C-alpha cells in the first residue's frame, strides 16, 4: 500500500528545491572575466635592452606579436583585451592594453611603450625611451578606437 508522506517531509523537500533553484539563479549572475591576446609583463620587457636588442632577440625573449606595423615592419604590437560577462547579457570589453616595440631601420629596438585606456582615451602607461610620438600611433588609435565595437560572436569562434 502507498503511504502518504507526512507534512514535515513535504516541507523539507520544498525547501530543498527552493534552495537549489536559488543557488542556480544566483550562480548564473556571477560576473565572468575572459582575457584575449597576450601582452608581455614588465619583467619580460626588462630583458629587452633599447639600442641593443634586435627583432630576433625580442622574438626569443617575449615571443612574436599578433600584429606588426601595417605599412612597414618598424613596430611590433602586443594586444590584450579583457571582457566581462554578466548573466545573459552580451560580453563587454572592460580593458585593453597594447605594448608597442619600435625598431629602427636596422631592426634594432628604439622604443618600448605600454598603452592603456583611461576614461576612454589612449594613455601611455610606461615608456622606456621617451620620443615625441610612436611611429605606429595611428595603428594604436585604430586598436583602441574599436573598443566596444567588437562582435562577440567572432571572439567565441
Non-local CB neighbours of 63 within 8 Å, separated by 6+ positions: 38, 40
Instruction: Give the per-residue pLDDT at 58.
Output: 92
Instruction: Give the per-residue pLDDT at 72.
Output: 60
| CA–CA–CA angle 75, 148, 41 (5° rounding) | 40
Instruction: Give the per-residue pLDDT at 79.
Output: 86
User: What pTM did the predictor assign?
Assistant: 0.61
How far, in Å, CA of 111 to CA of 50, rounded? 6
Distances (CA, A) of 111 to 3, 66, 68, 104, 136: 82, 18, 14, 9, 12
Instruction: Give the per-residue pLDDT at 52.
Output: 92
Q: What is the mean pLDDT of each run of 10 residues along the chain (157 residues)?
A: 70 88 74 88 92 92 76 78 84 86 89 77 56 50 53 49
Report the b/e string of 131-154 with b at 16+ CB within 10 A.
Answer: eeebbbeebbeebbeeeeebeeee
Instruction: Give the per-residue pLDDT at 157.
Output: 47
Instruction: Give the per-residue pLDDT at 40.
Output: 93
Amino acid at each position: 500500500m502507498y503511504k502518504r508522506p507526512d507534512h514535515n517531509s513535504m516541507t523539507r523537500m520544498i525547501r530543498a528545491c527552493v534552495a537549489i533553484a536559488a543557488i542556480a539563479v544566483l550562480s548564473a549572475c556571477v560576473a565572468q572575466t575572459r582575457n584575449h591576446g597576450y601582452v608581455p609583463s614588465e619583467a619580460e620587457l626588462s630583458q629587452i635592452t633599447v639600442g641593443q636588442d634586435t627583432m630576433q632577440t625580442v622574438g626569443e625573449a617575449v615571443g612574436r606579436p599578433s600584429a606588426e606595423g601595417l605599412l612597414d615592419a618598424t613596430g611590433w604590437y602586443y594586444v590584450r583585451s579583457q571582457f566581462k560577462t554578466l548573466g545573459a547579457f552580451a560580453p563587454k570589453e572592460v580593458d585593453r592594453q597594447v605594448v608597442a616595440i619600435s625598431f629602427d631601420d636596422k631592426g634594432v629596438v628604439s622604443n618600448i611603450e605600454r598603452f592603456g585606456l583611461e576614461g576612454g582615451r589612449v594613455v601611455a602607461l610606461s615608456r622606456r625611451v621617451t620620443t615625441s610620438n610612436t611611429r605606429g600611433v595611428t595603428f594604436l588609435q585604430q586598436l583602441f578606437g574599436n573598443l566596444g565595437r567588437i562582435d562577440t560572436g567572432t571572439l567565441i569562434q
